Amino acid sequence: MERVKATLTASGRLPSPFRTEGFLMKRRAVVGFVAGALCAAHGTSTAQQHGKIWHIGLLASASRQFYLDSGRYQALQASLRNLGYVEGKNLVIEARYADGQYDMLPAYATELVRLKVDLIVAVSSPAIRAAKQATTTIPIVFPSTGDPVGSGFVDSLAHPGGNLTGMSNSNLDVSAKTLELVKAILPGISRVAVLANPGSSTESAMLKSISVAAQQVGIQVVTFEARNSEEIEAAFGAMLREHVDALVIAADAMMGMQQRQIADLALRYKLPSISQGAGYPRAGGLLGYGLNSLDTYVVAAAYIDKILKGANPADLPVQQPSRLELVINIKAAQALGVNVPRPLLLRADELIQ
């Protein structure tokens, strides 16, 4: 695998899928409903005065706006609400966002430990690592990560063995699959760029997975590294000079936060591109393949509930995705002059017009 270092030259809001439907009632029914609600509210309030108020820490690598725009924060709230945990009543979420500055995560993790939260939800590999280093006693749940065993977060998927558990997103397998999808659209390609963040703890494993897959399909891979928005733009300039035919984006919190910028640059440079997950084509990119990120918060909430009720994280197996999604942006394909084969269109879980 050839690695190219880009020279620095210069320098996404989805609607929440969780909505509450309103309802209409006749006047008499309304009166009865309100009276009942007032009694229920009084009973609930009294119960909460004597009940436990849970404090959960949220340690996230990306920005607060990214988690709101992508619907992930709302997904966590809704999933917990369905299990009886309501923010502002019996639940407090202490959120800390690193805005892509991974070096801030250890301090944020230490702060959450000092606050004596009951549990930490760690989002992305850098956040998981920071939380793991900050505490061996407070339970840690991760909604997803690429290689929990190889990264040293758990002993095994079946038996985590410590204070961490959650869900694996199968990114190593997905990394290889992305090349197959690009090859299906552009059968004549010979040289593919991979955009990766060297600050990600799974970068090395993902690049190795992509390299092995590239050899099997006869494609040369050139790696471009970027840690922020400015380096992403510089990397695209380097890709132009290297005459690559397409782009694979290695999954990472920072890359997710910058997915609209990457999609815009890919269109400007006429580079067919694919990333892991549905968010990228929704931000304007060509292809997305991977785990539905909102599904992971349903799993996380279920594990949070089990742990708060007394389960040991060491006894809760790391779950693996039961389904992966393929999303294709038809508008982007047309702008790039790419003809997506009909079998791939039929296979897609979502087509964005």
The mean pLDDT of 269-293, rounded to a whole number, is 91
The mean pLDDT of 285-312, rounded to a whole number, is 94
The mean pLDDT of 161-182, rounded to a whole number, is 83
Q: How far is CA 302 from CA 63, 131, 204, 234, 320, in A?
A: 24, 20, 31, 42, 14
pLDDT score, position 226: 95
213 pLDDT tier (thresholds 50, 70, 90) = confident
Q: Is the pLDDT of residue 301 over 50?
A: yes
pLDDT score, position 147: 82
293 pLDDT tier (thresholds 50, 70, 90) = confident
Shared fold status for 53-169+292-315 and 171-290+324-352: yes
Q: Which tokens hold the place of 137?
A: 């006693």
β-strands 325-329, 287-290 pairing: antiparallel
Q: How far is CA 319 from CA 107, 120, 144, in A?
A: 29, 18, 9
Check: CB of residue 139 under 8 Å from CB of residue 120: yes
What's the CATH architecture for 53-169+292-315? 3-Layer(aba) Sandwich (3.40)
pLDDT score, position 154: 96
Check: CB of residue 133 under 8 Å from CB of residue 163: no
**Whole-prediction pTM value?**
0.77
Helix (H) or strand (E) holding 301: helix 293-308
How do the domains of the chain map onto residue ranges?
A: 53-169+292-315, 171-290+324-352
Task: In whole angstroms, give the CA distance from residue 28 to residue 21.
Answer: 21
Give residue for tokens 């996380």. 300
State the maximum Cα–Cα separation within the chain, in Å, rounded to a whole number: 74
Instruction: Specify the fold of 171-290+324-352.
Output: Rossmann fold (3.40.50)
Find the range with the poorest average confidence among 40-44, 125-129, 318-322: 40-44
Check: CB of residue 185 under 8 Å from CB of residue 210: no
Q: Is the pLDDT of residue 351 over 90?
A: yes
Q: What is the pLDDT of residues 32-42, one digit of tens each?
A: 333 333 333 33
Q: Which tokens hold the place of 46?
A: 């009294």
Between residues 274 and 205, the one the model is more confident about: 274
Q: Is the pLDDT of residue 170 over 90?
A: no
β-strands 246-249, 191-196 pairing: parallel
The DSSP letter of residue 63 is -
Taking the CA atoms of residue 233, residue 235, residue 240 and residue 243 in that order, the dihedral angle to the nearest 10 degrees is -160
